């Protein structure tokens, strides 16, 4: 497993931006696919974005055009740039990693990932 630590969450107003970071341990980082999920109170954890180990990127429809996922392999860090934030984006954000190969859009499933961070809270006030 990869050890993951998220940071960068906070309280912002609607329309603001935030950048989340996820620092990963050295082992296996370079060959893992990395993703962001989020979980709002009373809701299931949901897929936000994934950057596969070969460089493919996918976003959920709810964040497409507003969020950007990226990674800096020199720093073993995954990022999520979040722009035009809405109150619906309020949630705990988690990064996750996996060495599995995805199929048929399986990257949206939490079960595909074997390492998770502790989460960082993002609150967007309207």
Query: Would you state the pLDDT for residue 32?
Result: 87
CB atoms closer than 10 angstroms to residue 96: 25
> Quick one: tokens of 98?
């996996």
50, 65 in Cβ contact below 8 A?
no
Residues 6 or more apart in contact with residue 39 via CB below 8 angstroms: 45, 46, 91, 92, 94, 119
Query: Would you state the pLDDT for residue 28?
Result: 55
Which tens digit of pLDDT belongs to each residue from 20-51? 999 998 655 567 899 999 999 999 999 999 99
Residues 6 or more apart in contact with residue 20 via CB below 8 angstroms: 6, 7, 8, 9, 36, 79, 80, 82, 93, 95, 120, 122
């Amino acid at each position: 497993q990869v050890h993951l630590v998220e940071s960068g969450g906070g309280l912002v107003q609607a329309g603001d931006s935030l950048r989340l970071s996820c620092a990963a341990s050295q082992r296996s980082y370079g060959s893992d696919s990395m993703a962001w999920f989020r979980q709002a109170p009373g809701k299931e954890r949901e897929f936000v974005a994934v950057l596969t180990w070969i460089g493919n990127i996918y976003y959920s429809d709810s964040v497409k055009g507003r969020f950007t996922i990226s990674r800096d392999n020199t720093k073993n860090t995954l990022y999520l740039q979040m722009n035009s934030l809405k109150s619906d984006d309020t949630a705990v954000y988690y990064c996750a990693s996996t060495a599995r190969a995805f199929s048929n859009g399986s990257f949206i499933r939490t079960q595909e990932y074997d390492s998770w961070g502790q989460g960082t809270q993002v609150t967007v006030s309207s």
